[in-house]
Amino acid sequence: MSSQQQRGVLLYAPPAAGKDTVTAALAMLDPSYRQFTRLKVGSGRTAGYRMGSQQQLEELRAADAVIYENGRYDSTYVVDRPGLDDAFAAGVPVVHLGQVDGVRALIEGYPAQWLTVLLWCPREVTAVRSAGRGDSDTQARLSAWDATLADLQTNGDFRFDLVVRTDVASPEQAAEQIRQARGGAR
């Protein structure tokens, strides 16, 4: 498949805004949508990640195969070229990010047509959702919410293709909006 035909979705959101839930709803609409599993080097939550070692990360860096990496919650999270290659071969990757720099890095660093989606909810909703799902680090997630808001303010020139308020739209409604908007992806 040529890069001009590859189409992916970038979900940018603060913690607990619904990235996992909306991605699951997308997959129910169309099984070709699949969450991209970032490589994680560190401890803590393992679900939804490809766990890796510091040596693997160094090898990816040396091969210039890291498209974007960031540190949060005492771990390093990586979007890597081999992982994206595999994800596109399997379907339509849905990449979860919390930094505009990461969104820009993928748009500029991986040849595909990306639909950029901002999922948003108020800070209070993040607090309730985080506690409700049993996060032991809700305060850190609220700090990440604050950092996400600051990131959006700092990068006010960046325009998302679609903005969805997940405190207003159901996961199914959000997924349908994304599926419909994907026809006009970057």
Burial of 135 (0-12, 13-18, 19+ CB in 10 A): middle
State pTM to two decimals.
0.88
**Can you tell me the distance from the alpha carbon of 95 to that of 8, in angstroms, rounded to the nearest whole number?**
8
pLDDT per residue as tens digits for the range 129-156: 988 888 778 888 899 899 999 999 999 8
Quote the radius of gyration of the chain (alpha carbons, Å).
Answer: 16
- Edge-to-edge strands of the sheet including 50-51? 50-51, 39-41, 75-80, 66-72
Question: What pLDDT score does 45 carry?
Answer: 77
pLDDT per residue as tens digits for the range 46-105: 777 899 999 999 999 999 999 999 887 788 999 999 999 999 999 999 999 989 999 999
Superfamily of domain 7-37+92-184: P-loop containing nucleotide triphosphate hydrolases (3.40.50.300)
Residue 185, pLDDT above cutoff 50: no
Q: Give me the percent of the chain exceeding a pLDDT of 90.
A: 72
**Can you tell me the distance from the alpha carbon of 27 to that of 37, in angstroms, rounded to the nearest whole number?**
14
Closest Cα to residue 117, out of 144, 86, 96, 102? 96
Neighbours of 165 (CB within 10 A): 15
